[in-house]
Amino acid sequence: AALVDAKTERIFFTGSIEVGQKVMAHASRSLKKAVLELGGSDPAIVCDDADIDNASSGIVWGAFNNCGQNCNSVERVIVDASVAGRFMEAVVEKTKRLRLGNGMDPETDVGPLASEAQLKKTETSVRAAQNRGGRLLCGGRRPAGMKGYFYEPTVIEWSRSNPAPADEELFAPVLYITPSVGDGDAVRLANQVGVERNAHYRAPLFGEPIILADQRIGIFPRAHVVDEEAVVIIDLEAVGHRDQTA
């Protein structure tokens, strides 16, 4: 509070949603500009006409790059049920090929977690997910014979009938995949948790990607294209966006 109330022009905060709300409340008293980077469980949506090879490759990279310790890591995937089997098979096959090792080694795909505490938190989270009905597709353990805070890249199938697996970002190499029934159901599942930092929408390029996103997922604000493969990153920081298409 003292820092926010000091004679500074702008506050940039990275941390939890709860503390971020307090920072914003204090900053608003003097109309001070505040940028908040808060935790969330970032979703990706894979539609029925998506390029499965492209989507699975991008999501494996987005989920496990830097051992999942990125603020915009993909943590949940909602995939149309008609292609879910092929998509999960592709994701698991590519995930199993990832090479664990020293993060400074250029041959390494996935390095260690940052601390023992984070490793134990990951183990606890994965066990809790399995106890709640999550089906382990690969990973879910420390790799045998490796010293350090390593955890195998983990993929878990999650039923659409279960509540969202996590409301806070785990910061770990763990990916949940949930089959959905149509675009409206996918948006509903993506919006199950309170706040997400980013959403990742994957589909083939039919004309302009923004128009495509507006037509199929029209409730997400401020969509912008990030590459030529029709991958659209959609800002979901505004709280309260819910499915208007179902």
Q: Which are the catalytic amino acids?
A: 37, 71
> Angle at the Cα of 163 (from 161 to 164), degrees rounded to 5?
115
Name the residue among 97, 28, 86, 14 with its Cα closest to residue 52.
Answer: 86
What does the DSSP assignment read for 9-43? SEEEEEE-HHHHHHHHHHHHHTT-EEEEEE----E
**Which DSSP category does 142 fall into?**
P
